[in-house]
């Protein structure tokens, strides 16, 4: 077991790789009642075309299958995992994103049982045709719920606009049609390919003793056998450089219009350190331009273009990366023009050192606060882990940034790669 001490944060992380390839990270939190376990696999909605374990041919699976599998994993031979957790007084849940699926529990007692239960229910699969059919009704309701959510539609629509074929444009839950195609055989293929221990990571944080907990996990893993790990081969995405759609307008039964301007970034870095540096630089750059302390935020607020729902976000995962800028606005057309014009201006902008340092301080403070909450630590850890980064390095990296790092990313802003997505009220012409 390896021990890593982080002095600034006063945290100690313990880690070990199990013989079957499973990576385990433990973060004991003194004084906490709560223990939070998060078991993640690098399998998300973008993983749609791959060679299944022990097969030779590439297959294409129905959209939304990672999410469907997440729902069905809770079924065990001897009952439902949620019930078993409930008997321990523990709550459990799971979520699927574009790039990963994660299962979790949160408890204040029976920590050992909970950790084993989490490992056991995810490391075994039990499906019946009947229960798969039943799940479709529930998932269709979930899809319907998202269909009515204007924020989600605008957020996701603005990503879909950017990509011609890249699977990041696939709805995480799929559609009613693709969900109907899902069956036991395909689910099992996905499971055996992506839920191999070597593709997974367990993170436990809270009221635990690292030594004992690691031993418990070792014991638990030693009783199970898995097929030999193979490198998972997914189809490479040959996404075009250009964007798919310049503009899209969706009319919904809503009162408040919404706008997101998105921008595709084609220059994808390979090295995880460089990626982290870019992400943190980009966050500072976006704060300098768009946060409440920026001149632009003040100006656009006074002009009635934006309100406090306005935000700018950078995403960088796997082989895709993009920006999203927008929020609720009564003037979507005007705001769209302003944002796109601004993106065009960024490469020639310069920033002041004092502003840069101020935002640097802000970002460090916010990151330190994350370490108050076991849930936030675990979720952030898992998100960065699969990108090859340890979250404990974030603060040092922010500290090491300079104005030059900001100047280096300015060239990524490209007006020709911007797109806009508007949600407008159905019964109103703007």
**Site for other proteins (CB under 8 A): which residue of 2, 10, 238, 241?**
10
Q: By CB under 8 A, is residue 376 in contact with other proteins?
A: no
Rule CB under 8 A: is residue 150 a binding residue for other proteins?
A: yes
For position 334 contacting other proteins by CB under 8 A, the verdict is: no
From the list 19, 79, 304, 388, which residue makes contact with other proteins (rule: CB under 8 A)? 304
Candidates 16, 135, 248, 393; binder of other proteins (CB under 8 A) is 135
CA-CA distance, 392 to 388, in Å (whole number)? 12
Which x/- pattern, by CB under 8 A, does the window 223-262 give for other proteins? -----------------------------xxxxx------
Q: How many CB atoms lie within 10 A of CB 179?
A: 21
Q: Is residue 70 among the annotated active site residues?
A: yes
Least distance in angstroms from the C-beta of 288 to other proteins: 10
Binding flag, residue 430, other proteins (CB under 8 A) = no
- Interatomic CA distance for residues 20 and 202, integer angstroms: 13
Q: Are 118 and 37 in contact (CB under 8 A)?
A: yes
C-alpha span between 174 and 233 (Å, rounded):
22
Q: Does 5 bind other proteins (CB under 8 A)?
A: no
Of 93 and 212, nearer to other proteins (C-beta) is 93
Among 12, 49, 82, 272, binds other proteins (CB under 8 A): 82
> Which residue among 1, 3, 8, 242 contacts other proteins (CB under 8 A)?
8
Total H helices, total E strands in the chain: 15, 16
**Which are the contacts of 167, defined by CB distance < 8 A and separation ≥ 6?**
45, 46, 47, 48, 49, 237
Strands 75-76 and 79-80: antiparallel
Q: Does 171 bind other proteins (CB under 8 A)?
A: no
- Residue 187's closest CA among 121, 104, 128, 117? 128
- Per the residue annotation, which of 70, 75, 279, 336 is the catalytic one? 70
Which listed range, 122-130, 164-172, 277-285, 368-376, lies at the site for other proteins (CB under 8 A)? 368-376
Q: With contact defined as beta carbons under 8 Å apart, do 49 and 235 qualify?
A: yes
**Footprint on residues 341-360 left by other proteins (CB under 8 A):** 358-359
Number of residues that bind other proteins (CB under 8 A): 74
Say if CB 217 and CB 202 are below 8 A apart: yes
- Show Cβ contacts of residue 228 under 8 Å, excluding neighbours closer than 6 positions: none
**Under the criterion CB under 8 A, does residue 77 sit at the interface with other proteins?**
no
Q: Of residues 165, 295, 319, 408, which one binds other proteins by CB under 8 A?
A: 295
Question: Which positions are annotated as active-site residues?
Answer: 70
């Amino acid at each position: 077991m390896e021990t890593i001490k982080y002095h600034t944060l006063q945290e100690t992380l313990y880690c070990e790789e199990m013989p079957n390839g499973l990576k385990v990270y433990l973060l004991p939190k003194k004084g906490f009642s709560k223990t939070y376990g998060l078991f993640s696999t690098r399998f998300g909605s973008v993983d749609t075309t791959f060679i299944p374990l022990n097969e030779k041919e590439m297959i294409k699976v129905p959209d939304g299958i990672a999410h469907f599998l997440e729902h069905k994993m809770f079924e065990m031979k001897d009952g439902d995992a949620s019930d078993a957790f409930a008997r321990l007084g523990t709550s459990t849940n799971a979520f699927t994103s574009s790039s990963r699926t994660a299962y979790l529990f949160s408890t204040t007692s029976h920590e050992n049982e909970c950790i084993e239960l989490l490992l056991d229910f995810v490391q075994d699969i039990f499906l019946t045709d009947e229960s798969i059919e039943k799940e479709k009704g529930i998932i269709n309701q979930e899809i319907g719920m998202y269909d009515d959510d204007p924020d989600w539609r605008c957020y996701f629509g603005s990503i879909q606009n950017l990509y011609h074929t890249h699977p990041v444009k696939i709805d995480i839950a799929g559609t009613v049609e693709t969900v109907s195609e899902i069956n036991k055989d395909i689910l099992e293929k996905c499971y055996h390919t992506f839920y191999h221990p070597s593709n997974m990571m367990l993170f436990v944080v809270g009221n635990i003793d690292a030594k004992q907990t690691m031993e418990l996990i070792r014991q638990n893993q030693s009783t199970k056998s898995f097929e030999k790990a193979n490198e998972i081969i997914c189809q490479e995405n040959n996404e075009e450089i250009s964007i798919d759609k310049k503009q899209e307008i969706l009319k919904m039964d809503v009162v408040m219009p919404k706008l997101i301007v998105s921008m595709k970034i084609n220059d994808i870095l390979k090295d995880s350190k460089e990626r982290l540096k870019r992400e943190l630089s980009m966050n500072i750059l976006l704060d300098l331009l768009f946060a409440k302390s920026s001149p632009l935020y003040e100006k656009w607020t006074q002009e009635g273009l934006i309100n406090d729902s306005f935000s700018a976000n950078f995403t960088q995962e796997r082989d895709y990366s993009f920006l999203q800028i927008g929020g609720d606005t009564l003037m979507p057309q005007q705001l769209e023009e302003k944002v796109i014009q601004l993106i065009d201006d960024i490469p020639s902008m310069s920033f002041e050192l004092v502003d840069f340092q101020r935002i640097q301080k802000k970002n460090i403070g916010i990151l330190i606060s994350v370490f108050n909450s076991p849930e936030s630590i675990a979720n952030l850890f898992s998100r960065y882990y699969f990108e090859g980064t340890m979250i404990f390095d974030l603060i040092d990296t922010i500290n090491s940034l300079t104005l030059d790092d900001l100047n280096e990313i300015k060239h990524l802003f490209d007006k020709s790669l911007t797109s806009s997505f508007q949600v407008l009220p159905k019964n109103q012409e703007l």
